[in-house]
Structures are given as structure tokens and as C-alpha cells.
A = this chain, B = another copy of it.
């Protein structure tokens, strides 16, 4: 067959999918922001229709043949086409290898599991959720078999979220964290340093927080003409396309810093989506390359930039001007220490910068053990608590504050959690290289936020999904992911704060 015909059909397909995705994303956006609650059922039906339509457009004999034809002629394609075809072949194989009735059964199972998880959490009774979780793990193992995985079944799920990631690499990664961050936390806990942060929970009017949020996005050079900021229960970012990138935050009258950190975090995601090269428009590559790399962009703005001594030097006077009453008895240094206060806690999403990755380590070890069968689901609550004590030094008083806190497993999301920790590590590695390339700290001190953004644009953002995480890492930092940068960053930062 003439590969040009196949290429034309493939490009037409990519174009159609872009048009459907736009609609689907707008529906999701609308559903998470304004839409009345009662709109849920009809939106669900519509989303179901499009999901089926996308499947039917993709999983066809013609597509299978076209992809093979294109792979046979891969040297005649340009870079973008070639990457798209490889990704599509991989996705196609993933979709056809699992029998469709098993996929349907699995959807029913995960739907049910979300309810049983909710119920279990509400009643603090793990046994309500455990039968479904067992079934999910069994199914994921079987699916890994279908997909022809010879080595550890967990690797296939890691790769779904982070191309090229394996358990072997992650073991080394978390080993490093375990050896360096756990002792660091112990040191902090043993230190005599007393950090005051009661002023963070004073009354901060919401309207003013909303204004401050927009102002912060402006400091970050987020282009508000090509995007927008709204509110939602759970902050998120959505890149509909590079000219339409949307993010949300939420504001709490008695927790001003939480809303600002959400904006910095989501703003980092949003900057990534907004600065993908225009060359990638109308391809499937105009989005972040992996969850880990995406998370690195949010973490670098939330932690390495916003929570840095240098940024606070610039930002605190502005906050003090906005909230003269609330911050009148607070020094810049006290503010910096308050937002970096380390306090081991049970709930991951409320964790500070240091303990956050330990939460992820707990989940990682559990996921591996569950998938390979070295622990049973019924042992999970006990195992969880043991790990929490080992790494964070605290034991949840109940399962609601422990193993039942996260929704991910009820969705079947195994292999997803590690990307949260990868993001922090990549962020530290990028920040380290930025310090060498552009003197990151000095730029922040000079209120120059454009130069760091340009570095990220040049080294990360522009490539979208054209490069793999490994390629991005190599190109921008001359090495693969190396968790030592993250550990070193935390050690330096917290040794200073806690006089270790």
C-alpha cells in the first residue's frame, strides 16, 4: 500500500480526534466549574458516546494496516509523524490485546469500587473496600499478562504514566530517598527549633485572595489572554490547546497560603501547556510528555521557586501591603519559615514539601507488594501503618486517616502515585541545572521571573510529547533522573531552617 494514503488517513484521524477531545475537555471543564449538579447524567451520557466514538474510530482494521504501513516507511516520516505513529501503535496494541468484555467488566468493577471505597472510608471499615480491591489487583495482573509483560507486571502500569519508567529504576530512586530523607526528617523532629505559623490562619478576605491569585499568575508570566483562572473544589489545570489553557484554585479564608500555593502549582502545569511549540499544533504531541515531567513543572513553581528564600524576599512585602493587619507582626524570615514548616501528618495532600515524598514512598512499596503478591490486601491496613511509622514517625489512629484516604486505587490507578515523587525530583534536578545555567536564585532576587521561564520553555515546555522523559532529562541536565539532587536540595534547605 502507498504509505502516503495511510499517512493522509492517519492525519485526518488525528485532526478528528483533536476536534472531539476539545469538546470532551470543555465538557469536563464545565462540569468541574459551573455546571449545575443536575447536569451530571446527561454529561455522562454524552461523554460515554464520545468515548465509544473515539474507540470505534481508532480500533479498526484499516488503522491497524495503516500503522503497519507507516512503520514500514518510518524513515520517510518526519520526527513528529514518526513519534505519533509509534505512540499510536503502542496504544492500539494495548487496546486490542485485552478482550473487550473484560474491559467492560473492569469498568463495572472500578465503578463499584469507587462506591465501596467511599462507603469504607465513611464507616472507617476497610473490609467494605477490600473485596473490590482484591478483584482490581487480580484484574490488573491478568491485563498485564494479556499485554504480554514478561518481567514485573507493575512495570507496564508505570510505563502507562511515565514512559520508560521501571520498578528497577524506581527501587533505586526510593532507596536514595529512604536513606537520605528519613534521617533528615528525624533530625528536624529532634531539633529544638520552634517555628511560629499561627498568623497563616488569620482572616484573609477571599476577594483579596482572588486578586492576589491573578497577580501571582502575572508574576509567573502566565498569558491570561490565552487562558483563564477559575475556582473549583479540587484545583486542576487543563490545556485544551496552547491558546486555551485553564486552571483553577480554591481559597480558604483561614488558610491564605494554601490558595497561593495552588495557584503556583497549577500555574506551573499551565505554563507547560501554554508554552508547547506551535510546531506541534494539530498533532497528538501538543501536551506534556508524562505525569512526572508535568508534575516537575508544578513542583518547581510551588516549591523550588515560591517557597524559596529568594522569592519570599520579593513576595512578602507585597503580601504585607495587601494584608497589613494580618501580617503586621510577622517578619519576612518568619513568613519563609512558616510556609516551610515541617510537620508529619496523616493526609498526603496536606503534607509539607519534605514529608510529601515519604507519603509517596509508602504507597509505592505497597503497590509493588500488592501487584507481585508479596502482601495480601487484608494485611494492607497494618502494613500501611507500619510504613507510616517507619518513614514519618506517626501512626494513623484509623483507616480513614490511613489506607483509605486516597481515591486512586478504587479507580485502578496503580503506577500513578510514583509520578508525584518523580515530579519533585525532576524539579530539583532542573532547578540545580538552572542555578548553573542562569543563576536561578539571583534571577528570583532580582524579580526576574522571565529568565527561569525561558529556561523551562527551551529545555522542557517546547517539546510537548515529542521527547520522552529520559530525552528531556538528558537534553536539559546532561543526565538521567538522579534523586540525589532532590535529597541535596532538601538537606540544604532544611539544615538552614532548622539549624541542623
Contact = CB atoms under 8 A, between A and B. Distances in A.
A227 B36 CA distance: 6
A36 B225 contact: yes
Contacts of A75: none
A243 B39 contact: yes
A35 B230 contact: no
Q: How large is the interface on A (under 10, 10 to 19, 20 to 34, 35 or more residues)?
A: 35 or more
A36 B244 contact: yes
B46 A244 contact: no
B36 A226 contact: yes
B30 A241 contact: no
Interface string A1-42: 000000000000000101110111011011001111111011
A369 interface: no
B19 A225 contact: no
B225 A42 contact: no
A48 B43 CA distance: 21
Contacts of A38: 225-226, 243-244
Contact of A243 (B41, B226, B241, B244): B41
B226 A42 contact: no
Given A16-B49, A23-B27, A42 B228 contact: no
A33 B226 CA distance: 15
Contacts of A227: 36
Interface in A349-401: none
Contacts of A24: 23
A240 interface: yes
Nearest to A230: B34
Nearest to A19: B49
Contacts of A29: 30
A45 interface: yes
A146 interface: no
A283 to B, nearest CB: 13
A224 to B, nearest CB: 8
A50 interface: yes
Contacts of A46: 18-20, 22-23
Nearest to A49: B19
Contacts of A35: 26, 228, 244
Nearest to A22: B46
A403 to B, nearest CB: 35
B19 A26 contact: no
A197 to B, nearest CB: 33
Contacts of A50: 19, 23
Interface string A215-230: 0000000001111101
Interface in A202-259: 224-228, 230, 240-241, 243-244
B241 A42 contact: yes
21 contacts: A18-B42, A19-B48, A19-B49, A20-B46, A22-B43, A22-B46, A23-B24, A23-B26, A23-B46, A26-B27, A29-B30, A30-B30, A34-B34, A36-B224, A36-B225, A36-B226, A36-B228, A38-B226, A39-B243, A41-B243, A42-B240
Interface of A: 16, 18-20, 22-24, 26-27, 29-30, 33-39, 41-43, 45-46, 48-50, 224-228, 230, 240-241, 243-244
Q: 9 closest pairs, A vs B, by CB?
A: A19-B49, A39-B244, A38-B243, A23-B23, A22-B46, A19-B46, A38-B226, A42-B241, A26-B30
